[in-house]
């Protein structure tokens, strides 16, 4: 490989990139827009689940129970149903996700010292939210239940006992369970995969499609010089994107970086190289911009979104799928990002992830160079 020829290709590619200002603009804008939008809009925190109440009892006691629900940050009352069909309609329309049904003999039974039931109906079509909401609802039911017991004790003139056991819960690394702290590092990985694979997947294919590849072949240029020369400008763009993403995350969304920022950028560079050469390989093998790009998206974007542990915890997946996640490089990168961002741990714990990431990048570089047949057919 000759530096002089390599630099010539780098220069040519940079010219291509800067000349096509729209692509350049898009590749720098996409990360900003994504981080702003997702950092601001996306949250898995359960708040204000729309709730309807069907209070058949209409008593002071039932209102007390309902106040417990409306006072909690998890539920927001959107209306009162008058009948079961009414309630069914609210769930059908998606106006409410949870319905609380208080039976008509609720107050009589409780004041008579008897036991009673309340019904929680949920729209199970969003299983995650409804499961969380039901959990909270049943805890509120239990709290109300023990309040009733305490009152009964007091009525009998006995001192109400303290609750026998209570939970003190503490969440490490992310004490308020802010989902931004989890989402922003994940978005960095997604943005990098998208930009890297999308940009490089078309480069070589474009040369083939427009016929300029044959001109390149007739020059003294060698295969590796072409590949590295083409990757370098996109590497610069990609690292700029990382810097933008990290800065926005820190200043706009206040996601702290507990660990070593240098290590963050070093591993990002390795991950980026892997993704760039993967896009390159697709471009070399498929020789078609459409095909290479489609495959880059379905093999890059979706797995990074879904199989990396970004939103869906890998340990909840079935075992064969867990096995598949080992070949998704973003899995390692997201583990590293979370380790550095939230846990403040370094290579002493993350070295396996870092090693596998490096291995992935190395394999991609080798494959890209092997696959390029830099001669006329």
Structure tokens at 187: 């978005």
**Residues numbered 167-206 forming contacts with another protein, rule: CB under 8 A:** 167-175, 177-179, 181-182, 194, 198-199, 202, 206
| Cα–chain center distance at 369 | 33
127 binds another protein (CB under 8 A): yes
6-14, 271-279, 305-313, 355-363 -> range binding another protein (CB under 8 A): 305-313
Binding flag, residue 30, another protein (CB under 8 A): yes
10, 27, 226, 281: which one binds another protein (CB under 8 A): 27
Q: Mask 313-342, x = binds another protein (CB under 8 A)?
A: x-xxxx-xx--xx---------x--x---x
Tell me how far, at minimum, the Cβ of 233 lies from another protein, in Å: 13
Cα gap 307→327, rounded to integer Å = 10
> How far does CA 118 lie from the centroid of its chain?
36
Based on the shown chain and the rule CB under 8 A, indicate whether residue 375 belongs to the binding site for another protein. Answer: no
| Contacts for 110 with CB less than 8 Å, ≥ 6 apart | 61, 116, 148
Scan residues 133-162 and list those touching another protein (CB under 8 A). Answer: 134-139, 141-146, 148-149, 152-153, 156, 158, 161-162
Crossing angle of helices 127-155 and 60-71, in 10° steps, is 130
User: What are the two backbone dihedrals, phi and then psi, of residue 44, each rounded to the nearest 5 degrees?
Assistant: -100, 0
Which of 3, 4, 71, 166 is close enough to bind another protein by CB under 8 A? Answer: 166
26 binds another protein per the rule CB under 8 A: yes
Q: In this chain, which of 1, 7, 37, 327 binds another protein, going by CB under 8 A?
A: 37
Both tokens assigned to 62: 């039932």
Strand order in the sheet with 75-80: 75-80, 49-55, 98-102
Residue with tokens 């992935």: 360
Strand partners, 54: 101
Binding status of residue 10 toward another protein by CB under 8 A:
no
Distance from the first to the final alpha carbon of the chain: 23
Alpha-carbon distance of 157 to 155, in angstroms, equals: 5
Only segment of 108-116, 213-221, 222-230, 243-251 that touches another protein (CB under 8 A): 108-116
* In the complex, minimum distance from the CB of residue 34 to another protein, in angstroms, rounded to a whole number: 6
Q: Which stretch binds another protein (CB under 8 A): 112-120, 217-225, 272-280, 363-371?
A: 112-120
By CB under 8 A, the residues from 227 to 286 that bind another protein are 286
**366 lies in the site for another protein, by CB under 8 A:** no
Check residue 210 for interaction with another protein (CB under 8 A): yes
- The torsion angles phi and psi of 279, rounded to 5 degrees, stand at -60, -40
């Amino acid at each position: 490989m000759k530096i002089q020829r390599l630099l010539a290709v780098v220069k040519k590619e940079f010219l291509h990139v800067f000349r096509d200002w729209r692509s350049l603009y898009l590749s720098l804008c996409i990360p900003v827009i994504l981080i702003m939008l997702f950092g601001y809009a996306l949250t898995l925190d359960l708040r204000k689940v729309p709730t309807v109440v069907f209070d058949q009892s209409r008593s002071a006691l039932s209102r007390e129970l309902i106040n417990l629900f409306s006072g909690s940050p998890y539920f927001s009352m959107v209306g009162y149903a008058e009948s079961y069909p009414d309630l069914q309609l609210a769930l059908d329309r998606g106006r409410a996700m949870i319905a609380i049904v208080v039976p008509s003999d609720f107050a009589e039974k409780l004041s008579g010292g008897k036991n009673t039931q309340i019904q929680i109906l949920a729209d199970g079509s969003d299983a995650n939210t409804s499961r969380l909401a039901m959990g909270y609802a049943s805890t509120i039911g239990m709290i109300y239940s023990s309040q009733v017991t305490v009152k009964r004790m007091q009525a009998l003139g006995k001192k109400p006992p303290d609750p026998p056991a209570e939970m003190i819960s503490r969440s490490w690394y992310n004490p308020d369970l802010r989902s931004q702290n989890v989402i922003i590092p994940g978005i960095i990985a997604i943005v990098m995969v998208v930009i890297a694979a999308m940009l490089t997947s078309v480069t070589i294919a474009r040369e083939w499609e427009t016929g300029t590849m044959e001109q390149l072949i007739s020059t003294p240029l060698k295969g590796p010089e072409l590949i590295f020369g083409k990757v370098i400008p996109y590497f610069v763009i990609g690292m700029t994107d990382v810097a933008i993403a990290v800065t926005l995350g820190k200043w706009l969304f206040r996601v702290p970086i507990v660990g070593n920022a240098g290590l963050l950028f070093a591993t990002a560079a390795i991950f980026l190289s892997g993704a760039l050469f993967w896009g390159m390989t697709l471009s070399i093998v498929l020789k078609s911009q459409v095909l290479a790009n489609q495959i880059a998206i379905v093999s890059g974007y979706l797995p990074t979104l879904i199989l990396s542990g970004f939103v869906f915890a890998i340990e909840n997946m079935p075992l064969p799928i867990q096995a598949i996640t080992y070949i998704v490089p973003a899995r390692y990168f997201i583990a590293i990002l979370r380790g550095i961002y939230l846990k403040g741990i370094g290579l002493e714990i993350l070295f396996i992830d870092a090693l596998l990431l490096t291995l992935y990048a190395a394999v991609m570089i080798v494959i890209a160079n092997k696959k390029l047949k830099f001669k006329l057919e």
